[in-house]
A and B are shown apart, each in its own frame.
Chain A
């Protein structure tokens, strides 16, 4: 299991043990963590699972694909560390990962 800490926009923290193989999005949704909508269920079709990856984890998480990047381009309040959490596969190497949620998912 990999511990992932999801931090809501208003500051509430949720430390969740997520099974490797799931995505960071699934780890949140399946544990009822508020702030990640994931309307399309992980098809990279909607940009409603937007998160900010903690700076210390940027390298381990890696870069978005071209498809993800073009979706992110139009999400609200995008930052250089923005990712779609449905496109981040959880591995043992991500044990300890911290992601923050934006104010809105659109």
Chain B
């Protein structure tokens, strides 16, 4: 294969796959690029689906990653509503087999398969208005239900569920969040943040059932009418949103014999165990340079970083410098920005006061190096935190907690 002239197939037309296709052209790839997606629409941004889009503050055009005309102009062969069912691997390349019977030979393959909502075994899941929130189609269904006065039950107190509850409340609906754990965001946030988010949502009318299992979804005339909790109590609702985590779509890679371990295993160039095949985004398990661990990240920044890694490796351009993982969430008027992971953290300090709705939680190791920061309406703490995580320099704790000393001064 001539450099930058081979046939590239990208399976998965989400944020990662769509970005990779565009970056290949930016970096001068001249060979054919085919982008295969299961959804009927061109690559779009998923984060607004639970936020601005749900509240009607963003339209379809603003969700789109690129205008529809871009793909033809960039000579990217986009195959929408197509599902890849197999990868046949050769010596140096292979063929992607489509459900429709089509075959797409490739010199290099990028798997951007994404993740899907975790399914739980619950009686009544088949009822109408039992929803999940992953795709634009899912968001359409949810939006159609959220008329003023309607009642939304959210199963799962994670980010998606909380964002949806906040958006539903803003639309004049009532929302009840049901969480199995005794606190919100139990797997992903410190309990100081969990408690703050709980208070903030409650003050704005969201109701909570923490430490509550769900026994079943009850229906009337084929439509969900209530969520029955393990203790027998009923939460009446017009729709139930299930948001209990995501699982990586790795089956296609697994069946082709690529190394998988709760995600398709890749290196820092996004290469899988087959040198002709790359994998990017939610479907991967990747090295985290700042933590010396393999991890699965479900975020847009990760999808973009890996799209850059893969396309730089393919085109022979400068690889991107390693990024500190980060993530954001908007709920009501709160801006949450989270950087790093508290892997190996031994101490936690808070800068600012939670009651003011402007504070940051820093997670540090025993040598006072910042490993993660959860910032609430606190961009300087987030930005400086990201830099401190990358630099691995110890900080003076007494200065870090002193809000009268600017983060710029703390970070030097």
| A residues whose Cβ falls under 8 Å from a Cβ of B | 26, 29-32, 34, 37, 39-41, 43-47, 67, 70-71, 73-75, 104, 106
Q: Chain A at the B interface: mostly helix, strand, loop or mixed?
A: loop
B66 touches A41 (CB 8 A): no
A-B contact pairs, 29 of them (CB 8 A): A29-B66, A30-B64, A30-B65, A30-B70, A31-B66, A39-B300, A40-B47, A40-B301, A40-B328, A41-B45, A41-B47, A41-B48, A41-B300, A43-B47, A43-B328, A45-B328, A45-B335, A45-B337, A46-B301, A46-B326, A46-B328, A67-B335, A70-B380, A71-B383, A73-B380, A74-B384, A74-B386, A74-B408, A75-B383
Known: A40-B328, A45-B337, A46-B328. A74 touches B62 (CB 8 A): no
| List of 9 A-B pairs having minimum Cβ-Cβ separation, nearest first | A74-B383, A45-B328, A70-B379, A34-B26, A70-B380, A71-B379, A39-B301, A41-B45, A32-B22
CB distance from B93 to the nearest CB of A (A): 27
Known: A39-B300, A70-B379, A71-B383. A32 touches B47 (CB 8 A): no
CB-based nearest A residue for B302: A39
CB-based nearest B residue for A76: B387
A46, B217: Cα distance in complex, Å = 39
What residues of A have a CB within 8 angstroms of the CB of B304 in the complex? 37, 39
**B383's contact among A29, A31, A39, A47, by CB below 8 Å, is which?**
A47
B330 within 8 A of A: yes
| B residues whose Cβ falls under 8 Å from a Cβ of A | 22, 25-26, 45, 47-48, 62, 64-67, 70, 74, 300-301, 304, 321, 323, 326, 328, 330, 335, 337, 379-380, 383-384, 386-387, 407-408
CB distance from B282 to the nearest CB of A (A): 15
What residues of A have a CB within 8 angstroms of the CB of B47 in the complex? 40-41, 43
A45, B66: Cα distance in complex, Å = 20
A32 touches B70 (CB 8 A): yes
Greatest chain A CB density within 10 A among B321, B328, B408 is at: B328
A53, B51: Cα distance in complex, Å = 30
A43 touches B66 (CB 8 A): no
Known: A39-B301, A45-B337. A32 touches B383 (CB 8 A): no
B379 touches A67 (CB 8 A): yes
CB distance from A19 to the nearest CB of B (A): 9
What residues of A have a CB within 8 angstroms of the CB of B384 in the complex? 74
What residues of B have a CB within 8 angstroms of the CB of A45 in the complex? 328, 335, 337, 379
CB distance from B351 to the nearest CB of A (A): 14
CB-based nearest A residue for B48: A41
What residues of B have a CB within 8 angstroms of the CB of A73 in the complex? 380, 383, 408
**B66's contact among A32, A74, A106, by CB below 8 Å, is which?**
A32
CB distance from B20 to the nearest CB of A (A): 13
A32 touches B26 (CB 8 A): yes
A34, B380: Cα distance in complex, Å = 27
**18 additional A-B residue pairs with CB within 8 Å, beyond A70-B383, A73-B383, A74-B380:** A26-B62, A29-B66, A30-B67, A32-B22, A32-B70, A34-B26, A37-B304, A39-B301, A40-B300, A40-B301, A40-B328, A41-B45, A41-B300, A43-B47, A43-B330, A44-B335, A46-B326, A70-B379
Greatest chain B CB density within 10 A among A31, A37, A46 is at: A46
A45, B338: Cα distance in complex, Å = 10
What residues of B have a CB within 8 angstroms of the CB of A32 in the complex? 22, 25-26, 66, 70, 74
CB distance from A21 to the nearest CB of B (A): 9
A104, B45: Cα distance in complex, Å = 23
CB distance from B140 to the nearest CB of A (A): 19
A40, B47: Cα distance in complex, Å = 9
What residues of A have a CB within 8 angstroms of the CB of B62 in the complex? 26
What residues of B have a CB within 8 angstroms of the CB of A67 in the complex? 335, 379
CB-based nearest A residue for B406: A73
What residues of A have a CB within 8 angstroms of the CB of B65 in the complex? 29-30
CB distance from A22 to the nearest CB of B (A): 8
A73, B380: Cα distance in complex, Å = 8
CB distance from B166 to the nearest CB of A (A): 14
A39, B48: Cα distance in complex, Å = 13
CB distance from A75 to the nearest CB of B (A): 8
What residues of B have a CB within 8 angstroms of the CB of A30 in the complex? 64-67, 70
CB distance from B314 to the nearest CB of A (A): 16
